[in-house]
Amino acid sequence: MDETLGHRKIQINNEVFFAEILSDIRSGKTVKINVIGNSMLPFLRYGDQVLLEAVDLDNIQPGDIVLARYKKQYILHRIRRIKGDTVFLIGDNNLQLIEEVSKSELLAKVLQGFRGQKQLHLYSRKSIVKSTLYYYLRPLRRVVSKIIR
């Protein structure tokens, strides 16, 4: 139990968790969840929170961060490109893997991000430019990561 907040931490199966989350989103609610993993570094990191809303498939665009279903897993990644019904996603920290999903596998869109009490400006012009540069610097990041290992 977290004595300072008076909350208990529990772990539940992803399928149960996301079924409940998606039910709330489909009913028009926004839902805040914790970020798990490091695939969205440096823009989102483990422990940050994101506010999810229903995804409007007619208004998605490159740069949007979405919750998607990919190979029976849930991923929170950025849209890199859209070609017809196919959406190409990448975690900002991923050096190679680009996930290819259909629009129907997009489950929610990140509306806002939070690090503690601080709001993250994930969709500001500055953040979009930074994430685009970070994407195109992947070859250099790959070399640097091999050197520092």
Q: Is residue 8 part of a domain?
A: no
Domain carrying residue 34? 14-148
**What is the domain-level CATH number for residue 68?**
2.10.109.10
Number of domains the chain contains? 1
User: What are the pLDDT digits (tens) for 66-84?
Assistant: 999 999 999 999 999 999 9
DSSP string across 95-136: SS--EEEEGGGEEEEEEEEEETTEEE-TTSHHHHHHHHHHHH
Q: Is residue 42 part of a domain?
A: yes
User: What are the pLDDT digits (tens) for 87-108?
Assistant: 999 999 998 889 999 999 999 9
